[in-house]
Structure 1
């Protein structure tokens, strides 16, 4: 039972992780808001388990206790003078404090903007400059900076007009006295800002409404992952500032009453096998990684006693899917119970909350090899019919999720047939409202036809 967890404060810990099954009827994200989803999840026994880089449990956080802490945090945030729809930038550490503050924003009607830790940046100065640009783009009134980079706080918040700029501990130490009724939150309110990767342009805050976020969580869980009534458990090292981590392994599991074991992203590169060990120890069934994560694991010797037979959805996304890497991983780990049919390729982007398509489950990696010369000359992805022809193999990412639609257009806006080269457009219930504060950039990717958003020029 939840009461047996005995967590009485954010600092409290317990020896046993939160259990796999919630003990309640499974609801697949069918809520109006994320705080409604947490209200329901709190009636069961599931939650988040926070581990360190050695695989040691640091905090077990049942959704019941998280809800209490989130409501307390909501009052703390409002006591600072923040008003509904104000933005709160949170540098996203994979820990309980992030969960308390993110969901505290949901209860307070505030808009959290998860921001990256300094993992993939060229150095301290470049990181701080990028981070400050994100804070300014979000027009944030509060910035939460984890202790890990606490010494950089003064530089990060310099000359910003904030009501708060400090650590989670400093925020959570504020009085949680009632500040009156919490603001009403509706399905059309913005739930959070998801910053783009910035690989081709400066990162922009993607505005995701409550209903869009929950529509994607529903489609992912019910149709993409086909979450079971009992027995499913998530294990993730993915960063919570990225859509695959935030939506796929933070918001969707909570919205579907799933337990998630979280491992710090920064620790994964040093000890990737801890991820596999957690799947084995806790009988994880759903875990995702870009191809490079599987490659890192394939290069290292497995932990002793490893058993991956419970892993039914080994998802791939977030970068170019490289079948030879997945083949190497499957070959290395088949003696430890891994079934290559567990691989599930998927496709998505933050502008659609997260997922757009999933390959069918229990089929493993499906590929399509095309004539590369014909592709370049005829702009058409013809299958290889000559072994001497240059060729390229692509991984099939399945069909669009129910309620979503994908089509490709030529430069004149005409719909193209399958296998033609064009610009992909997507329509569905999980589309962003736009780039926050960036009307010009928003209009550049939204078509005149309502509800369609431009993706990129790729094979249809």
Structure 2
């Protein structure tokens, strides 16, 4: 396709930083200007220009089409999320219809058809949608998932052929739920985060102010729309704050990661682009020792190189800086952040221009354990400064009993903000467990220093690999399905490999003494975990009664991890 002109970085339409009652109002305003979205193929070639004005027209038509189908205010509309104009229009169509859009992941994230259908099926059970809409090219998989729950299913293009009779649209209020976000990645314990229009727009305005967005800024993103950083930070924020955006599909980034940097290089304004650590790592690895970095890329106008969604690894960021400094990349552009879907998105941001700051902390200080005895050497971890709270956000570091801890002391991160979720959808017990007196228990561990937050780990044992969350319970449950294993026999947690990559490790109590049988079991466990999660894991068989337990008899994954890393848990030796 030729003669495509991308939407402009600047126009004469006065900017409003997300100061609207509802998300629909935000799109109504953005559509009066010339800015919008620009979709690119795997080679970073522009294939579709989508101004906010056109998005609004398509969204209104989608709203009328949904209402004609029978969708009413408060209904859930499940959307398989791909980086396409159709998803954007259907998402806002659900908003205009007063329904709750529910973005769900593409099948590329899972181990196979049955695993994907099971995963989506559990989330569909949780949100109970009245319709499931998806890219037409995955009709077989998505139809199987919807039909297994007796949910009407339509490909995007097929649904667009339905009549869209005009009529009066419902008027939303700021206190209404805007959308549901499934953030846990859990196949057994899905948590649909319910966010109101007021909370969403407060957060969108907060991180725009925190990043000092100005008239020269343009966003570049490959992040998936089913992830909170992709959905909220690089899609909804762009509408609410009127920022033109250039998109790559996530799958295309995975195949050609340097296309991301090609897009940034072409931007004649200043670029704002976010990625988990692994995105920077892939680019640094792919460029390797190529000598054409300076000729191919111009990263001198990359103003904000955001980093979030998983633990930030300073060694990776340094490798990226070393690789792309010849192309003008300035390490001061790094903008570490901390956020979570339960807070809509942003909780803390590093002030622009301060770059990345790191503190070395002794590991026993991080875990709360007593210092190691004997002659065991001290081990330090580099902890990245994740910045200061965004506007109207309060942070406290608390002990398990709820008492507030002083600075430089590791504890649970609690927060209070107008951006905090309304609830976990249809799950009052889980809601009450993390929302207490207006404060949110983030489930993460960290400490405060001079007003900055340092995040050191995940209190809830979450495993995050390449920016994707995995509950250890899911991995453990996969092994429990095999004959001869039961709950309590398995502990799953994340470890760092000698190469510096984070990977899941699974310790499994094994009762057989036959080495051939152990080898067979290990391979069977590995394949079972891969089929459920789509991941390769380190599988270690350990003797019975090895895995540690709390005083109440529950499995202690954190202690199992510490004992394994220290060598106090010795797995069976199994020949390859």
Structures share fold, TM-score greater than 0.5: yes
CA distance in 2, matches of 1:172, 1:57: 24
Q: Which has the higher contact order (CA 8 A, sep 6+)?
A: 1
- Quick one: which of 193, 196, 212 aligns to 1:206? 193
- Quick one: which of 213, 237, 243 aligns to 1:227? 213
CA distance in 1, matches of 2:410, 2:127: 35
Which residue does the alignment assign to 1:194? 181
CA distance in 2, matches of 1:20, 1:457: 37
Q: 1:344 to 1:440 in 2, by over 3 A?
A: same
Task: Indicate the RMSD between aligned Cα atoms, in angstroms.
Answer: 1.8
Paired positions, count: 436
Which residue does the alignment assign to 2:34? 45
- Tell me if the contact between 1:88 and 1:143 (Cα under 8 Å) persists in the aligned partners: yes
- Tell me if the contact between 2:9 and 2:244 (Cα under 8 Å) persists in the aligned partners: yes
Please tell me whether residue 240 in structure 1 is matched to residue 225 in structure 2: yes
CA distance in 2, matches of 1:127, 1:349: 24
- Tell me if the contact between 1:51 and 1:261 (Cα under 8 Å) persists in the aligned partners: yes
CA distance in 2, matches of 1:133, 1:13: 43
Please tell me whether residue 409 in structure 1 is matched to residue 395 in structure 2: no
CA distance in 2, matches of 1:22, 1:278: 20
Deviation at 1:198, TM superposition (A): 2.4
Please tell me whether residue 173 in structure 1 is matched to residue 123 in structure 2: no
- Quick one: which of 228, 239, 261 aligns to 2:246? 261
Can you list the C-alpha shifts for 1:343-383, whole angstroms capped at 9, x where unaligned?
00000000000010011211211011112244446689xxx
Deviation at 1:23, TM superposition (A): 2.2
Q: 1:375 to 1:244 in 2, by over 3 A?
A: closer
TM-score by length of 2: 0.73
User: Which is greater in Rg?
Assistant: 2
- Tell me if the contact between 2:365 and 2:410 (Cα under 8 Å) persists in the aligned partners: no
Can you list the C-alpha shifts for 1:4-24, whole angstroms capped at 9, x where unaligned?
xxxxxxxx9961111111321
- Tell me if the contact between 1:22 and 1:258 (Cα under 8 Å) persists in the aligned partners: no
SS at match of 2:255: coil
CA distance in 2, matches of 1:91, 1:430: 25
CA distance in 2, matches of 1:18, 1:93: 21
Gaps of 5+ in 1: 1-11, 381-387
Matches within 5 A, 1:330-409: 330-376=321-367, 389-409=378-398
CA distance in 2, matches of 1:376, 1:39: 49
Q: 1:452 to 1:369 in 2, by over 3 A?
A: same
- Tell me if the contact between 1:52 and 1:263 (Cα under 8 Å) persists in the aligned partners: yes
SS at match of 1:285: strand
Can you list the C-alpha shifts for 1:283-330, whole angstroms capped at 9, x where unaligned?
351001001000100012367531111100000001110001111111
- Tell me if the contact between 1:13 and 1:59 (Cα under 8 Å) persists in the aligned partners: no
- Quick one: which of 269, 281, 297 aligns to 2:283? 297
Q: 1:321 to 1:200 in 2, by over 3 A?
A: farther
CA distance in 1, matches of 2:244, 2:197: 21
Deviation at 1:399, TM superposition (A): 1.3
TM-score by length of 1: 0.91
